[in-house]
Chain A
Amino acid sequence: MIGVEVQRLGIGELAIGHNPHVLGCVGLGSCLAIALYHPPRRLGGLAHAMLPRREEFAKTGAANNPAKFVDSAIDALVAALQDLGCPRTQLQAKVVGGAQMFPVLAQRMDIGRRNIEAARERLRALGIPIVAEDTGGSRGRTMYFDLTTGTVEVKYAPGKAGIRI
């Protein structure tokens, strides 16, 4: 990926990219990175979502940013890709994150698990297959989504081997 522009997304951001772009999310804990890819055109989008469902926060000001929520972020990515001529039925999803960083607080903080469930549910409803995922557990993750190949590189804290999915 040397020489290729890498665009990092913060919490509550999403972006559309195309070959030879690389999109990434650094330091994911319970947050979820959802990558949608359209292989024929090498177009895709990535969202860095923090909370599972938008409607749960509809009454607060927090709901004004769709990219902050897993379900509405997926909808926004699909809409943007469809506008660019990528039919929903040809999209593939990869999902990374949703960890529980402090297992001792699992009863109070289960947002990671809920984020993963929200993504699976929304993608299933839209008929978009999850072709790969690296989710759950109690480790932080950094991910880079290569729009040339659709490959997602997942890295853990320094000193630990990463994976490609």
Chain B
Amino acid sequence: MNPEERDALSESGNIGAGHAATALSDLLGTKIMNGVTSSRLCPLHEAPGAMGEEDEVMCGVIMGLERGLGGAIMMLFPEADAITFYNLLTGRINTTAGGRDFVDAMAEVGNICICSYLNALAEMFDLRVFPTPPGVAIDMVGSLLDGTLANFNATADEVLIIQTRFTEGDHAIRGFFLLFPDAPSLDLILKKLGVRR
């Protein structure tokens, strides 16, 4: 990808994360700001290591993609950042991740972030996108990713990683959007970006 194309891809992340911040502000009743800190198209085998150590515990929210755009999309929050989100959402002071309430809350946060990003992507590239309901797991990042890579990316070899930072007052929350397009969908996005013809 050349710099312009990379910028276009980053811009979809910027817009999506911006929408997500607005929606989260409404949900939490507080002002959430957002910025994209990096975006990259990464070979799939490097994906787990691109976000930290493979055994770092993260909270993953995944939604499958059907029809217009195929594959899956995942939002990953490092454990401490997921806890910060949960505490902001519930007004509690939890120090551990897990439990039914926690999973339900993160499903909602993930759902909002992912759908905001998908809307931005759909508008920008004139695509129709149909996500499935979210699934949540809290585990080692390598474990969270390998099944998704295997299922949705078996025949492609790249994953789009957009790193974002939400801020609320003094709190900074790191999050990663990961888009796993199936092979035809990745081609489609890259064609729309002018990368492939």
Contacts and interface: CB of A to CB of B under 8 A. Distances in A.
Interface of A: 10-12, 26-31, 50-51, 57, 60-62, 99-105, 108-109, 111-112, 138-142, 157-158
A29 B142 contact: yes
Taking residues whose C-beta sits less than 8 angstroms from the other chain, chain B's interface range is: 20 to 34
Tell me if A's interface is mostly helix, strand, loop or mixed.
Answer: loop
Tell me if B's interface is mostly helix, strand, loop or mixed.
Answer: mixed
Given A26-B55, A158-B57, A50 B146 contact: yes
B155 A57 contact: yes
Given A11-B45, A50-B150, A62-B157, A99 B143 contact: yes
Contacts of B133: 104
B137 A102 contact: yes
B178 interface: no
A95 to B, nearest CB: 15
Contacts of B139: 29, 101, 139-140, 157
Contacts of A139: 139, 143
Contact of B135 (A60, A102, A111, A158): A102
B143 A29 contact: yes
Contacts of A31: 146-147, 150
A138 B147 CA distance: 11
B195 to A, nearest CB: 18
14 contacts: A11-B44, A11-B146, A11-B149, A27-B48, A27-B140, A27-B145, A29-B142, A29-B146, A60-B155, A61-B157, A101-B139, A105-B62, A140-B143, A157-B139
A116 B119 CA distance: 37
Contact of A141 (B45, B60, B143, B155): B143
B37 interface: no
Contact of A108 (B60, B141, B145, B151): B151
Contacts of B146: 11, 27-31, 50
A27 B143 contact: yes
For B55, B134, B146, B154, the residue with the greatest tally of chain A CB atoms inside 10 Å of its CB is B146
Interface string B41-73: 000110011000011010010101000000000
